[in-house]
Amino acid sequence: MKHLGQAKALAKLARLLLAEARVLGFEALKGYPHHYWDALGHMAQAEDEILVIMPKEAEMIRKARKVWEADEHRCPDFRKLMYAVSAAAGLCGDSERTRALEAQQMRLDLEPREETK
């Protein structure tokens, strides 16, 4: 990454936005539907903040958001998303790297699968 300081700052902002989306998602489950819409907006903003410097992680967040948009009951694993962003920016310790690897697996799980005939 060319601008590591900027990447870390944007990754921290994206993590904050994802954490806010997570909290709002839980609030939506308690009967506040407008919090669901706000949560989707926070996810979209997180994608936008890191799109240029971390396109793979931005795409991962977008795919998770689109899945959630299609079905309100398929809430993303926000922690895995946050670990993936952290790992890409070099913000992880050893135990966090393990979680980041799990997040990479989640990225693969979000990939569209070809149907077998």
Domain coordinates in residue numbering, the chain:
4-110
pLDDT at 6: 85
pLDDT at 106: 59
pLDDT at 5: 80
pLDDT at 81: 94
| Cα distance between residue 75 and residue 83, in whole Å | 17
In tens digits, the chain (117 residues) has pLDDT values of: 456 688 889 999 999 999 999 999 999 989 998 999 999 999 999 999 999 999 999 999 999 999 999 999 888 999 999 999 998 888 876 565 566 666 666 555 555 445 444
Regarding pTM above 0.75, the answer is: yes
pLDDT at 92: 77
Measured between alpha carbons, how far is residue 9 from residues 50, 92, 100, 104, 114 in Å? Answer: 10, 14, 18, 21, 37
pLDDT at 7: 84
Q: What are phi and psi of 69, to 5 degrees?
A: -60, -40
Token pair for 6: 């900027």
pLDDT at 117: 41
